[in-house]
Homo-oligomer: A and B are copies of this chain.
Amino acid sequence: MPRKSKNISSPNLTNSDEEREQFEIYLSNKGLRLTRPRKLIFDEVFNVHGHVDAEELAAHLREPGKRVSRASVYRTLDLLAEANLVKPIRLLSGKQRIYEHIHSGEHHDHLVCIECGRIQEFFSEDLENLQTKLCSKHEFKPARHTMIVYGLCGQCSKKKK
């Protein structure tokens, strides 16, 4: 049984090229413009591994060379989501603007450690299939989903003993 498991810090620096193209296509299809702020935001988003949070992003982009406004960050995150490059996730954290990358349609779910906060991603074919089955049972046409399991990661659960 195939097992695709990933850590937050998988080093894939330069391969945002594909995403970048997808972004440009999306923009031009909609008659939107590839501006300096949008480029900067795009880069920041796709150079970060793991999850992207609007406020953090805005903070980074306030630095000397960049100076992108908070408003543009929020607006551009919307675009990236519409372009299907980024997907909103909801953690127990009070923030509503947290996203994760969507790498070429690959989907995954989350194990969140309630002790150390580590987020581990996983993917399960079985889970996807089951979901499809469950949705059709309820006459529901799924667009996307989030599954988050909260609990103790291996390390923390050992420490607890």
Residues of A that sit less than 8 Å from B by CB: 3, 5, 88, 90-94, 96, 111, 113-114, 120, 122, 124, 126-127, 130-131, 134-135, 137-154, 157
Contacts and interface: CB of A to CB of B under 8 A. Distances in A.
Contacts of A137: 3
A134 B131 CA distance: 15
A134 B87 CA distance: 23
Contacts of A114: 143
A105 to B, nearest CB: 16
The A interface is mostly helix, strand or loop, or mixed, namely mixed
A151 B132 CA distance: 12
Contacts of A135: 111, 149, 151
Given A90-B92, A154-B140, A149 B131 contact: yes
Nearest to A146: B148
Nearest to A149: B145
Nearest to A88: B92
Given A92-B90, A94-B96, A96-B94, A122 B138 contact: yes
Given A143-B150, A144-B150, A124 B120 contact: no
A124 to B, nearest CB: 6
A135 B127 CA distance: 12
A118 B152 CA distance: 32
A117 to B, nearest CB: 14
A150 B142 contact: yes
Given A145-B149, A146-B148, A150-B145, A111 B130 contact: no
